[in-house]
Amino acid sequence: MAKKNIDWANLSFGYIKTDKRFVSNYSDGKWDEGAIIEDDMITMSECACVLQYAQTIFEGLKAYTTEDGRIVIFRPDLNAERLANSARRMEMPVFPEDKFVDAVVQTVKANADYVPPYGTGATLYVRPYMFGINPVIGVKPADDFQFRVFTTPVGPYFKGGAKPIVIKISDFDRAAPHGTGNIKAGLNYAMSLHAIVTAHEEGFAENMYLDARSRTKVEETGGANFLFVTKDNKIVTPKSDSILPSITRRSLMYVAKEYLGLEVEEREVYKDELKDFAECGLCGTAAVISPVGKINDHGEEICFPSGMEEMGPTTKKLYDTLTGIQMGRLEAPEGWIKVIE
Ligand code: PLP
Ligand code: COI
């Protein structure tokens, strides 16, 4: 195995084409066997359902090189389950969960030379996705679908890595009550693009979305859930039916309780409480835990005591424990780590 000649330590979160990808097609009511292929291009009808009506869903997970040189992936069974839930909500066929895990394993194995070496801070991001591919003009679901998995080596999602970021409270809504906020559909991200461009233009790294109904409760950002640390060191995360059930957040809540002995709470979090928290972080596969130093609420700054220089102490402990598990430095809970090779 010869690792690719990539400046691993300076990667950002961008797309780099890797050698192989997995493709499986659904037609006549069934999935084919699927295969690893080299061609990264997709040819489809101008009227494909995904192009006209955005019938597309996706997942995101990472492959890591552990301290002892193995390649592992983190909780892929939960991504398989979440993609299946997204498929049901979007009137798409479920890609069998065991086959999902197998497809991810095959794709990572086929691109092993792109898995960043241990200690570089980079990882191999894995993107499984599915879309409606046959022509559809009246509004209805496709009949034919394609499931694919590609990989790309990535660095930190936010520039500066572990440096705290400043975010703003958005005036746009991300997800409606009873909408699609709790699944990973491309449409949720399409409608956040204007909000993220606006936030970037104003100098903010991300948006905090509030609940669309009352605009009083914290939901999530465009690509991560929130974790807060109270002044008495309790971990609090927003509970809502319209946010994505983050695998990182669920894992961190377990880690906080079982590894760090902290009290954890999943509950509604009001915007008015933000000023009382000691630390704030964004958690997700891409974000890992990105510390938030300040939140701008229409010109008024909410500054966390952890400051703008470094991660707060509890966020740091959570970060070190989770990444320790992912990189094989700490023993993982049963079933969390799947060894690829
Ligand atoms: N929320 C949104 C909107 C996301 O896109 C993501 C990323 O997948 C997350 C939260 C974090 O989820 P996970 O930890 O499963 O990656
Ligand atoms: C992930 O963390 O995997 C995501 O899908 C978030 C996306 C904004 C990159």
**Measured from the CB, is residue 246 less than 6 Å from ligand 1?**
yes
- Give the model's pLDDT for residue 287: 95
Q: For a pLDDT cut of 90, what percent of the chain falls above it?
A: 98
Mutation test residue for ligand 1: of 184, 187, 220, 244, the one with most atoms within 8 Å of CB: 244
What is the pTM for the complete model shown?
0.98
Nearest-CA residue for ligand 2 atom 8 is 223
Tokens representing 89?
């909500």
Pairing assessment for the beta strands 277-284 and 225-230 based on DSSP bridges = antiparallel
**Measured from the CB, is residue 128 less than 6 Å from ligand 2?**
no
Query: Looking at the predicted structure, is the pLDDT value of residue 314 above 80?
Result: yes
Nearest listed ligand to the Cα of residue 126: 2
Chain centre to alpha carbon of residue 276: 27
Tell me the CA–centroid distance for residue 59 and ligand 2, in Å.
8
Closest ligand 2 atom to Cα of 127 = 3
Closest ligand 2 atom to Cα of 184 = 5
- Pick the closest to residue 59 from 178, 192, 173, 151 (CA basis): 151
Tell me the CA–centroid distance for residue 223 and ligand 2, in Å.
5
Distance CA 18, CA 277 (A): 42
**Measured from the CB, is residue 223 less than 6 Å from ligand 2?**
yes
Query: Looking at the predicted structure, is the pLDDT value of residue 270 above 90?
Result: yes
- Do 216 and 210 meet the contact criterion of CB atoms below 8 Å apart? yes
Confidence of residue 1 (pLDDT cuts 50, 70, 90): low
Query: Looking at the predicted structure, is the pLDDT value of residue 188 above 80?
Result: yes
Confidence of residue 161 (pLDDT cuts 50, 70, 90): confident
What b/e sequence results for 178-188 when a residue is b if at least 16 CB atoms lie within 10 Å of its CB, and e otherwise? ebbbbbbbbbb
Query: Looking at the predicted structure, is the pLDDT value of residue 247 above 70?
Result: yes
- Give the model's pLDDT for residue 107: 98
Average pLDDT score, the chain: 97
> Is the four-CA dihedral 200, 201, 203, 209 of positive or negative sign?
negative
Residue type, 334: E
271 annotated active-site: no
**Measured from the CB, is residue 156 less than 6 Å from ligand 2?**
no
- Do 64 and 337 meet the contact criterion of CB atoms below 8 Å apart? no
Q: What is the largest CA-CA distance in the chain?
A: 58
Closest ligand 1 atom to Cα of 251 = 14
- Block residue for tokens 């080299």: 38
- Block residue for tokens 């966390």: 304
Section 205-214 average pLDDT: 98
Chain centre to alpha carbon of residue 120: 20
Neighbour tally for 195: CB within 10 Å: 19
Q: By CB neighbour count within 10 A (0-12 exposed, 13-18 middle, 19+ buried), where does 66 fall? A: middle
Confidence of residue 159 (pLDDT cuts 50, 70, 90): confident
Tokens representing 239?
């509970």
Tell me the CA–centroid distance for residue 138 and ligand 1, in Å.
32
- Give the model's pLDDT for residue 160: 79
Mutation test residue for ligand 1: of 191, 255, 285, 326, the one with most atoms within 8 Å of CB: 285
Pairing assessment for the beta strands 235-238 and 264-267 based on DSSP bridges = parallel
**Measured from the CB, is residue 220 less than 6 Å from ligand 1?**
yes
Section 51-70 average pLDDT: 98
Tell me the CA–centroid distance for residue 79 and ligand 2, in Å.
12
Pairing assessment for the beta strands 235-238 and 288-297 based on DSSP bridges = unpaired
Tell me the CA–centroid distance for residue 137 and ligand 1, in Å.
31
Distance CA 298, CA 312 (A): 25
Tokens representing 106?
């095959």
